[in-house]
Chain A
Amino acid sequence: MGADRPTAQASPSTPELHLPDLPQLQLGGSTGEGRARRPRRGLREWLTVSLPLLLMALLALGTWWLVQVAPQPPAPRPPSTPGDEPDYRMQQFTITRFSPQGRQILRLEGRVLRHFPATDRLEIDDVRIEAEAPDGRRTEARARRAVSNGDGTEISLEGTVRLRSAPAAGAADAAVTEFEGESLQAWTRFQRLHSDRPLQLRHGTLQVRAGSMSLDQPAGTLTLGGPVRLTAPPRGTAG
Chain B
Amino acid sequence: ASADRTQPLTLESDKPCTVNLARQVSQCSGNVVITQGTLVLRAEQIELRESREGHPSATASGSTAKPAQYRQKRDGSDETVEGSATRIDYDGKAGTLRFVGQAVVRRLRGTTVADEITGGEIVWDNVAEQISVSGGAASAGNPGGRVRAVIQPRATVPAAPQVPLPLKTGPSGADRP
On A, residues with C-beta under 8 Å from B are 40-45, 47-48, 51-52, 205, 210, 217, 220-236
Binds A, one of B7-15, B60-68, B125-133: B7-15
Q: A44-B54, A220-B21 are in contact. Are A229 and B11 (CB under 8 A)?
A: yes
Q: How far is the CB of B176 from chain A (nearest CB, A)?
A: 29
Question: Which residues from chain B contact A52 at a C-beta distance below 8 Å?
Answer: 21
> Would you list the 5 A-B pairs with minimal beta carbon distance, nearest first?
A235-B54, A220-B21, A222-B19, A44-B50, A42-B54
In the complex, how many residues of chain B place their beta carbon closer than 8 angstroms to a beta carbon of chain A?
A: 30
Question: Which residues from chain A contact B13 at a C-beta distance below 8 Å?
Answer: 226-228
Is B18's CB within 8 Å of the partner chain A? yes
CA gap between A94 and B67 in the complex, in Å: 59
Binds A, one of B24-32, B113-121, B157-165: B24-32
CA gap between A221 and B19 in the complex, in Å: 6
CA gap between A51 and B11 in the complex, in Å: 18
Interface class of chain A by DSSP: mixed
**Closest chain A residue, CB of each to CB of B7:** A234
Is B40's CB within 8 Å of the partner chain A? no
Q: A226-B30, A227-B12, A231-B10 are in contact. Are A40 and B54 (CB under 8 A)?
A: yes
Q: How far is the CB of B6 from chain A (nearest CB, A)?
A: 5
CA gap between A172 and B15 in the complex, in Å: 35
Is B5's CB within 8 Å of the partner chain A? yes
Q: Do the beta carbons of A225 and B8 come within 8 Å of each other?
A: no
Question: Which residues from chain A contact B15 at a C-beta distance below 8 Å?
Answer: 226
CA gap between A195 and B57 in the complex, in Å: 29
Q: Do the beta carbons of B12 and A43 come within 8 Å of each other?
A: no
Q: How far is the CB of B60 from chain A (nearest CB, A)?
A: 15
Question: Which residues from chain B contact A40 at a C-beta distance below 8 Å?
Answer: 54
Q: Do the beta carbons of B54 and A236 come within 8 Å of each other?
A: yes
Is B140's CB within 8 Å of the partner chain A? no
Of the listed residues B7, B8, B19, B48, the one surrounded by the most CB atoms of chain A closer than 10 A to its CB is: B19
Q: Do the beta carbons of B12 and A229 come within 8 Å of each other?
A: yes
Q: Do the beta carbons of B20 and A220 come within 8 Å of each other?
A: yes
Q: Do the beta carbons of A43 and B48 come within 8 Å of each other?
A: yes
**Closest chain B residue, CB of each to CB of A212:** B16
CA gap between A234 and B54 in the complex, in Å: 9
Q: Do the beta carbons of A233 and B8 come within 8 Å of each other?
A: yes
Question: Which residues from chain B contact A222 at a C-beta distance below 8 Å?
Answer: 18-19, 21
Question: Which residues from chain A contact B173 at a C-beta distance below 8 Å?
Answer: none
